[in-house]
Structure 1
Amino acid sequence: MFIRNQFVQNKLVLHLMEKEEYELLTTSSNQEEYLLWKRNKRKTDIVRVSLKQYDWKKELEVSVQQVEKKVIQNIKLPLFQQNISFHHIFIAEYQPVDSWSDLKKRDVSTNKIDTSFVYMWSQHQDEEFARFFQKAQLTHALTFSIPDNLLELEYQTELLKHRIQQIHKTAEKEILAVFNRGKPFLSYILIAINIMMFLLLEYRGGSTNLDTLIQYGAKYNVGMIEGEWWRIITSMFLHIGILHLALNMLALYFIGTLVERIYGNIRFIIIYFFAGIAGGMASFALNPSIAAGASGALFGLFGALLFFGIKNPRIFFKTMGMNVIFIIILNIIFGVFVPQVDNGAHIGGLIGGFIASGIVMLPKSKVFMQQLIAIVIYVFYIFGLLAYGLTNDEVQYNETLQLQRIQQLLEAEQYNEVTKIVTETLPYAEQLEAELLFYKSFANIHLESFDQAKSDLKKVLDLKSDFEEAWYNLALLYQQEDEYDKAMDATEQLLDLDSENSSYQALYQELQRAEN
């Protein structure tokens, strides 16, 4: 009797949804076939409960293969969880004419399917349900009795169908509610501010001009060590070039609005700034270069999505989980292989955003102790990055960074400070040792420490014999002290390097006259 099979089918489906936490994937228009799934730690179970009748084993096998192929093409699995177990349950009046026993556990050709089982239930074969419960590792027993009265049977079946649809609709409403907890107007305001700051940079000298970037608040380790910690905030609103701005604003438009819808406006802006601060601190600790951009804050928004995924894994992986994880991994790998990318800010912001999400928590979550712990972790995280950055001499005494600082100090005529910085930086110099020593000699000349200046210049020339400016200054120092032979030797070296230079020719002629 078909109505009896419908009752059994819906009884089983409802049991899986209510007791075993299965979700309804799809159902046929006449509800003769249900497809459910449940994600476990190691695999995903797909359960098909069908009323379809198959006369031959081949028909049954083709149906099984078609359903599995369609599911594999459309289902979104959690990362690193690629194994699927299929359970095809057919509630039928009779079994196929030929033997189908070899389908009970079917050999599968695709590597995504771990196992595939077929069960054929009829009124006098309850052992098939027992086999299914055992293979699917279900924990709650299913017991039921089929009403004898036909009207009662039809009524109970309709109640079961209604309950199944009710649970499914409630789950869909829950998902919709999660993504509508705030209207994302703050994301648009942030985009507008970033664009305005970019236009200001372009007007004032260019967004790729280092002096302009420093003037308007880019992350600049030297300035931060001297007390300009506000740069951590201001650098979040500056971008280096139109492509940098476009990519980040595109990400803010899609990811920012999504996070703002999930967490609400206030929580979103807290996460954004806390992540940006963490990214800036990580960049200070790990990257000596001048840096700017909203990337740290944006990666923090990815961290917020990961936190959401931990709290709501079912919704996360059903909607966006794989895409979020893939983008994060791709960006981190990209940052490892592309030197210009500030990977420290990215990872620092990602962690900061995750922790910040634990501070603000999801709406309607009241876990004050966990939030307090998250606050403590965030404080330790920020001050840990600060402490590491202040003691990371290889970053803070980076030769390129210090050369830029030295040039600024020379313009300000702070010569004692120049000699001090060069002395501190030299132990970490790898490629610019000659340039550092040259600037130190230049400062010593202005400090009238001429012997030290000559010593510095000799070291420069030992490292880089074609350093014309060093030969020229050394010749001038020898000339000043009436050491004309040495001055002439230095000038001859200059002429060997550039015989057409009029300044070198004039100095040579002047030394010749002095000797005569």
Structure 2
Amino acid sequence: MFIKNQFVQNKLVLHLMEKEEYELLTTSSNQEEYLLWKRNKRNTDIVRVSLKQYDWKRELEASVKQVEKKVEQNIQLPLFQQNISFHHIFIVQYQPVDSWSNLKSSDSSTTKIDASLVYMCSQHQDEEFVRFFQSAQLNHALSFSVHNNLLELEYQTELLKHRIQQIHKNAEQEIMAVFNRGKPILSYVLIAINILMFFLLESRGGSTNPETLIQYGAKYNVGMLEGEWWRIITSMFLHIGLFHLALNMLALYFIGTLVERIYGNIRFIIIYFLAGIAGGMASFALNPSIAAGASGALFGLFGALLFFGIKNPRIFFKTMGMNVIFIVILNILFGVFVPQVDNGAHIGGLIGGFIASGIVMLPKSQAFMQQLIAVVLYVFYIFGLLAYGLTNDEVQYDETLQIQRVQQLLEDEQYSEVTEIVSETLPHADQLEAELLFYRSFAHIHIESFDQAKKDLENAVEIKADFEEAWYNLALLYQQEHEFDKAMDATERLLDLDSENNSYQALYKELQRAEN
């Protein structure tokens, strides 16, 4: 009788694998028990096919709970499925002595598994097979005959076991082949270039020095607006500080090599650069600060893994799926709550990498129309970010960014351009309006527009009453225009702010002499 049960068990398992596309998860060493699963868009069915005999209901119930708990702990179950059902099929000689009918269908004792169904298929209980096929919504009927000759039956059973193991082995080899389509050569090259560029920055003024970063190609909106769009590429190889470099290179080592193994060398580097460009454009459109790093390209590699998951959901979720999704969500949330993180570049790169993966497609995949659509979508995406960035005055006229720009222009003695830029920026200013007025007054002084300079300085000190530099320049302008009373008032205000300042004291004495 036992050899007959073995034959039925293996016949059912093989049918599930060949006809119903179930995947073998585990099998016991003596092949007394098989565990399989099948994932659909909304439902996941886990099937246990066992020859274990249980005399009592409590033993059966304990076994069901133990196996479900073990599966939940050791197998990566999907998070976003609407329903996960666990089917326990026991092919036995006789049923438990006491009633077990309440176990036929019940809620699972675990948190992730929704339904627990038990089937006891004994000699006179073939209707249990029918109930299982209906509950699992199987598409193909199972029909077979059991040979009366025990030797022949044993031989057929061994053939079934061998076929099951061969299908499982082929599936494992298919997974291994997916992850060996390219040697991760370019990932290591990129890591080396990034490290070399970091040491170059450190030797030329420091990787955290804004002037050094701008000089060597960081993302700098001002420069890009003046035509330096090459910064989108060069900024991908610069990092701000050792921690930034280490974090990104660690990600490139693990994620980059994985993507390169899946997509191959050429596809990998195309995805990397297209994602980096998308991340850079998103940063230009959404972030006014100086920025650098490979984060946009790295998030693009996550996008490539998500694209792989859509094309190969079975392999994706069996190997790395939930880990990738968790890391992406965690990093996006981290960027939302940490202002220093360039979340625009991260999300922009993620989307860019996903679209770029559709452009290059997976190896051995040909979908010309889909690739053409992906190319068009990528072009619209990049130019859409560009158009938004050029019209996003809150970013492009960010007061901090423009003050940096104005300071550089003053060093270059481009005073007319300073007055123009400050005038364009003031309507968008929030906290640095007084400083912008001060810099514009400085430019007005150099082009001898003294009345405009006085107006700017008067507005500046009205906004920021303790602005010493503005009060000092204003006092000097009043003195130059022979408005000695106003000059004296401004100087007295300076002494109230800092009575020990020698320059303020000297100016005060000079004004006293002029009055006398």
* TM tier, smaller: over 0.9
Distance, in Å, in 1 between the alignment partners of 2:261 and 2:4 is: 46
Distance, in Å, in 2 between the alignment partners of 1:469 and 1:90 is: 87
Structure 1 pair 107/210, CA: closer, same or farther in 2 (3 Å)? closer
1:50 aligned partner, one-letter code? S
Tell me if 1:228 matches 2:238.
Answer: no
> How many pairs align?
516
Residue 167 of structure 1, CA deviation? 0.6
Distance, in Å, in 2 between the alignment partners of 1:411 and 1:349 is: 36
- Describe how 1:207-246 pairs up with structure 2 within 5 A: 207-246=207-246
Question: TM-score, with normalisation over the residues of structure 2?
Answer: 0.98
- Identify unmatched segments of 5+ residues in structure 1: none
1:299 aligns to what? 299
Query: After alignment, is 407-416 or 473-482 more displaced?
Result: 473-482
Instruction: Give runs of ≥4 in structure 1 deviating > 4 Å.
Output: none
Tell me if 1:369 matches 2:369.
Answer: yes
Confirm or deny: 8 A CA contact 1:426 1:433 kept in the other structure. yes
Query: After alignment, is 453-462 or 100-109 more displaced?
Result: 100-109
Distance, in Å, in 2 between the alignment partners of 1:511 and 1:438 is: 23
Confirm or deny: 8 A CA contact 1:303 1:350 kept in the other structure. yes
2:449 aligns to what? 449
Distance, in Å, in 2 between the alignment partners of 1:52 and 1:139 is: 27
Distance, in Å, in 2 between the alignment partners of 1:473 and 1:458 is: 10
1:276-328 deviation line (CA, Å, top 9, x unaligned): 00000000000000000000000000000000000000000000001000000
1:412 aligns to what? 412
Distance, in Å, in 2 between the alignment partners of 1:172 and 1:98 is: 42
Residue 428 of structure 1, CA deviation? 0.4
1:328 aligns to what? 328
Distance, in Å, in 2 between the alignment partners of 1:436 and 1:343 is: 28
1:390-419 deviation line (CA, Å, top 9, x unaligned): 010110000000000000000000000000
Tell me if 1:41 matches 2:41.
Answer: yes
- Identify unmatched segments of 5+ residues in structure 2: none
Query: After alignment, is 150-159 or 273-282 more displaced?
Result: 150-159
Residue 486 of structure 1, CA deviation? 1.4
Distance, in Å, in 1 between the alignment partners of 2:336 and 2:364 is: 38
Query: After alignment, is 104-113 or 448-457 more displaced?
Result: 104-113
1:15 aligns to what? 15
1:81 aligns to what? 81
1:151 aligns to what? 151
Confirm or deny: 8 A CA contact 2:201 2:212 kept in the other structure. yes
1:362 aligned partner, one-letter code? L
1:344 aligns to what? 344
**3-state SS of 1:88 partner:** strand
**3-state SS of 2:374 partner:** helix
Residue 151 of structure 1, CA deviation? 2.8
1:183 aligns to what? 183
1:261-280 deviation line (CA, Å, top 9, x unaligned): 00000000000000000000
Distance, in Å, in 2 between the alignment partners of 1:483 and 1:28 is: 99
1:212-250 deviation line (CA, Å, top 9, x unaligned): 000000000000000000000000000000000000000
CA RMSD of aligned residues (A): 1.1
Distance, in Å, in 1 between the alignment partners of 2:282 and 2:78 is: 29
1:2 aligns to what? 2
Residue 107 of structure 1, CA deviation? 4.4
2:90 aligns to what? 90
- Describe how 1:21-170 pairs up with structure 2 within 5 A: 21-81=21-81, 83-170=83-170
Residue 119 of structure 1, CA deviation? 0.7
**3-state SS of 2:36 partner:** strand
Query: After alignment, is 238-247 or 155-164 more displaced?
Result: 155-164
Distance, in Å, in 2 between the alignment partners of 1:172 and 1:314 is: 12
Distance, in Å, in 2 between the alignment partners of 1:44 and 1:370 is: 29
Residue 427 of structure 1, CA deviation? 0.5
1:378 aligned partner, one-letter code? Y
- Describe how 1:430-441 pairs up with structure 2 within 5 A: 430-441=430-441
Residue 147 of structure 1, CA deviation? 1.7
Query: After alignment, is 322-331 or 465-474 more displaced?
Result: 465-474
**3-state SS of 1:405 partner:** helix
Question: TM-score, with normalisation over the residues of structure 1?
Answer: 0.98
Query: After alignment, is 96-105 or 499-508 more displaced?
Result: 96-105
